Amino acid sequence: MKAITISKYGGPEVLVPAEIAKPSPAKDQVLIRVMAFGVNRAETYMRSGAWGDVARVSGIECVGHVALDPSGQLRTGDKVAAMMGGMGRTINGSYAEFVAVPASNVIPIDTELSWADVAAIPESYGTAWYCLFRNLRLSPGDTLFVRGGTSALGLAAINLAKRVANVRVFASTRSGSKAQILRDNGASDVLIDTGAIVEELRSIEAPGVDAVLDLVGNTTLLDSLRLAKVGGAVCNAGFLGGGDPIAFNPLTDLPSGVNLNFFASFMLGTPGFPVSDIPLQDIIRQAEEGQVLSGPSRVFRFDDIGEAHRTMENNNANGKLVVEL
């Protein structure tokens, strides 16, 4: 089968097409014929070697047809989405015509959306759902600040919070030219992120917000903690600003009454974080009805995966990048 492989760790040019053996699924896996997949920043880290040795074939999510389910739970030809489960890390991932995925990470779907449109949903919306409704426990009427809002995960979180949960959303971007993207997706207020935005946010929402989703990470986390009001929570779920360590002293840096937590999407499919909890079919239906804006910002051909990675690393994605086979 055809696959895009990491020839060595480095820039986008190290992603090269190759013919490799079609995987044979173990009894606890499902073999999927890949029709499309989303491109994620995590895959740029894998490709560069920043996360150490990883699988030869990258890709942490996909949508497609069941080619074989040894358990018999899924029928050949069923439409499915898959995410995580070691894909791209410890086992070959979705940058291929076929991928064998742990059954615990496969979700049956029913949709008439195009493969490119549905491929923009699983990882971004699944992660956003867990962050918002498990870690941050959002409720209607709450206020939410999304830091790093123009990322695919940020836009998914804004859509779910505003258009599904009826939450007032504040969001930030480093570029004023991208502010309208945030408003179009449901942000009521947009701040230009200078790294220190507490005073500006508090001038609009004096007590602070109920919840903060920080996708920028270590470079903004200390500031984000001060955006939350007493009794509020901050969820760190990304490192768009880089992963260099920071000095953190709970005595001085963690405001009293503010809860800090972390969500790692690679935990999806593990016992504590079943993908079956994610209402993916409901989200797909909402996308079909236009209730959430989930479509890809750009669609690439399979052989243009290197260009997709360059677009991601140049911060020009402005949403979800998708590759269609």
Q: What is the pLDDT of residues 197-226, one digit of tens each?
A: 999 999 999 999 999 999 999 999 999 999
For the residues 40-69, what does the mean pLDDT come to?
97
- What pLDDT is recorded for position 132? 98
pLDDT tens column, 128-164: 999 999 999 999 999 999 999 999 999 999 999 999 9
Residue 215 to residue 209: CA distance in whole angstroms: 16
The reply to whether domains 2-120+295-324 and 124-265 share a CATH topology is no
- What pLDDT is recorded for position 209? 98
Mean pLDDT across the chain: 97
CB atoms within 10 A of CB 170: 25
* pTM of the predicted model as reported, rounded to 2 decimal places: 0.96
Query: Can you identify the CATH homologous superfamily of domain 124-265?
Result: NAD(P)-binding Rossmann-like Domain (3.40.50.720)
Residue 274 to residue 89: CA distance in whole angstroms: 19
Strand partners, 4: 17
CB atoms within 10 A of CB 249: 8
Q: Name residues whose C-beta falls within 8 Å of residue 207's C-beta, 6 or more positions apart in sequence.
A: 229, 230
pLDDT tens column, 156-190: 999 999 999 999 999 999 999 999 999 999 999 99
- What pLDDT is recorded for position 247? 94
In this predicted structure, the answer to whether residue 242 has a pLDDT above a threshold of 90 is no
Q: Is residue 93 within 8 Å of 82, Cβ to Cβ?
A: no
Looking at the domain that runs over 2-120+295-324, which CATH code has it been given?
3.90.180.10
Domain boundaries, the chain: 2-120+295-324, 124-265
- What pLDDT is recorded for position 244? 87
Strand partners, 102: 29
Residue 47 to residue 67: CA distance in whole angstroms: 27
pLDDT tens column, 253-262: 999 999 999 9
